[in-house]
Amino acid sequence: MNKLKHIPLLVIIAGVIITCYGSWKIIDSHMKTNQSLEEAKKATEPVLEKNETKSAVQAQRKKEFHPETGEASGILEIPEIDAELPIVEGTDADDLAKGVGHYKDSYYPGDHGQIVLSGHRDTVFRRTGELKKGDRLNVILSYGTFSYKISRTKIVSRDDTSVITLQHKREELILTTCYPFSYIGNAPKRYIIYADPV
């Protein structure tokens, strides 16, 4: 009987611990994303030397553009939801904790292929469900700014890998995140946004 008196206290303590842990994860994620965004802004700053043209600098930067895994390489701007998000090379847990992950085997703007960017639904991509056909997405890299217009969205099973074809016939930007947005735990589906160059 005496042991039962401590159960409510243990439940309260467990609740406080879980709440603190969740709060710390959110704060940690925001700090990592902000740090990556600062790195991305530095990486995409336009620097023109004397007697250089913008196109010459962009061509040289494109040639030298080979981001390492975990490195902030650009910025994804989503004007409709007032978002400015760092693009980080890679899509493992550490990379996605820093921002929007670029799927390593996919292409980058200007390569005329499929560009795949992924993000967590509860951090960087939590408002992507508000986007609609015709909304604009901008990818800012050291060698230029590339604009896309959303053409369609799709919901697929989390096991459906047919979305990522890595085709190299035409340029298209694909954003992926878990779905439903309000789901707690490992979500059963994926929310896909397709966008075409403007």
Q: Judge whether 178 counts as a catalytic residue.
A: yes
* Number of separate domains in the chain: 1
Which amino acid is located at 89 in the chain? Answer: E
Rounded distance between C-alpha atoms, residue 190 and residue 146, angstroms: 25
What is the pLDDT at residue 48?
Answer: 46
- Residues facing residue 174 across a β-bridge: 116, 194
Does residue 10 have a pLDDT over 50?
yes
90 Cβ contact partners less than 8 Å away, ≥ 6 residues apart: 69, 70, 101, 102, 104
**Mean pLDDT, range 144-171, rounded to an integer:** 94
DSSP state for residue 91 in the 8-state scheme: -
Quote the domain boundaries for residue 114: 3-197
Q: What percent of the chain clears pLDDT 70, i.e. is strictly above it?
A: 94
Active-site residue, selected from the candidate residues 30, 66, 102, 120: 120
Largest Cα–Cα separation, the chain: 85
**Identified catalytic residue from 30, 66, 168, 178:** 178
Distance between CA atoms of residues 176 and 94, nearest Å: 17
The DSSP code for 99 is S
Q: Can you give the CATH number for the domain in which 105 is found?
A: 2.40.260.10
Please provide the distance, in angstroms rounded to a whole number, between the alpha carbons at the two ends of the chain.
71
Is the per-residue pLDDT at 89 higher than 70? yes
Model confidence pLDDT, tens digit, residues 96-139: 999 999 999 999 999 999 999 999 998 999 999 999 999 999 99
Q: What are phi and psi of 79, to 5 degrees?
A: -55, -35
Contact partners, residue 142, CB within 8 Å, separation at least 6: 43, 44, 61, 65, 73, 74
Report the alpha-carbon distance of residue 168 to residue 107 in Å, rounded.
Answer: 8
- 120 an active-site residue? yes
Looking at residue 36, what is its pLDDT? 79
Distances (CA, A) of 16 to 5, 24, 184: 18, 12, 18
**Does residue 53 carry a pLDDT above 70?**
no
